[in-house]
Amino acid sequence: MADPAHDLEFTHKYALDRDCTTLSRHVLQQLHSFSTDAQDLSALMNRIALAAKLVARRLNRSGLVEDALGFTGRTNVQGEEVKRMDVYANQVFISAFEQSGLVCRLASEEMENPYYIPENCPIGRYTLLYDPIDGSSNVDINLNVGSIFAIRRQEGEDLDGTAADLLQNGHQQIAAGYVLYGPTTMLVYSIGQGVHAFTLDPSLGEFILSSENIQVPAHGPVYSVNEGNFWQWDDSIRDYIRYVHRHEGYTARYSGALVGDFHRILFQGGVFVYPGTVKNPEGKLRLLYESAPLAFLMEQAGGRASTGTQDIMDVIPDRIHTRTPLVIGSQDDVALVESFIQERTREQDVMLKHP
Chain contacts with ligand AHG (rule: CB under 6 A): 80, 109, 131, 134-136, 226, 256-258, 284
Compare residues 290 and 333 and give the one whose CB is closer to Mn ion. Answer: 290
226 binds, among Mn ion, ligand AHG, none (CB under 5 to 8 A by kind): ligand AHG
Of ligand AHG, Mn ion, none, which one sits near residue 191, judging by CB under 5 to 8 A according to partner kind? none
Question: What is the nearest approach in angstroms of ligand AHG to the Cβ of residue 171?
Answer: 24
Between 133 and 328, whose beta carbon lies closer to Mn ion?
133
Q: What is the 3-state secondary structure (H, E, C) of 220-285?
A: CCEEECCHHHHHHCCHHHHHHHHHHHCCCCCEECCCCCHHHHHHHHHHHCEEEEECCCCCCCCCCC
Q: Which is nearer to ligand AHG, 80 or 311 (CB)?
A: 80
Nearest distance from residue 41's CB to ligand AHG, in Å?
A: 25
State the binding partner of 235 from Mn ion, ligand AHG, none, CB within 5 to 8 A by kind: none
Cβ nearer to ligand AHG, comparing 48 with 257? 257
Between 86 and 299, whose beta carbon lies closer to Mn ion?
A: 86
- Which residue's CB is nearer to Mn ion, number 40 or number 134? 134
User: At its nearest, how many Å lie between ligand AHG and the CB of residue 10?
Assistant: 46
101 makes contact, choosing from Mn ion, ligand AHG, none, with CB < 5 to 8 Å by partner type, with none
Residue in the shown chain whose Cβ atom is closest to Mn ion: 134
Angstrom distance (rounded) from CA 31 to CA 18 = 20
Binding site partner of 224, from Mn ion, ligand AHG, none, Cβ cut-off 5-8 A by kind: none
Tell me how far, at minimum, the Cβ of 133 lies from ligand AHG, in Å: 6
Which option in Mn ion, ligand AHG, none does residue 165 bind, with CB closer than 5 to 8 A by kind?
none
CB of 139 to ligand AHG, least distance (A): 9
Which stretches of the chain bind Mn ion, using CB under 5 A? 109, 131, 133-134
Q: Which is nearer to Mn ion, 109 or 261 (CB)?
A: 109
Nearer to ligand AHG, 81 or 201 (CB): 81
Closest contact distance (angstroms) between CB of 178 and ligand AHG is: 11
Nearer CB in complex with ligand AHG: 199/280: 280
Give which of ligand AHG, Mn ion, none residue 284 binds (C-beta under 5 to 8 Å, depending on kind).
ligand AHG
Which of ligand AHG, Mn ion, none sits in contact with 256, Cβ below 5 to 8 A by type? ligand AHG
Interacting partner of 334 out of ligand AHG, Mn ion, none (Cβ under 5 to 8 A depending on kind) = none
Describe the strand order of the beta sheet including 115-116 as a list of residue ranges.
Answer: 115-116, 103-108, 126-134, 145-153, 173-181, 185-190, 196-201, 206-211
Least distance to Mn ion, CB of residue 45, Å: 21
Closest CA to 303 of 220, 223, 224: 220
Distances from the Cα of 3 to the Cα of 8, 10, 18, 137, 173, angstroms: 9, 10, 22, 58, 49
Least distance from ligand AHG to the Cβ atom of residue 226, Å? 3
Q: State in angstroms the smallest separation of the CB of 286 from ligand AHG.
A: 8
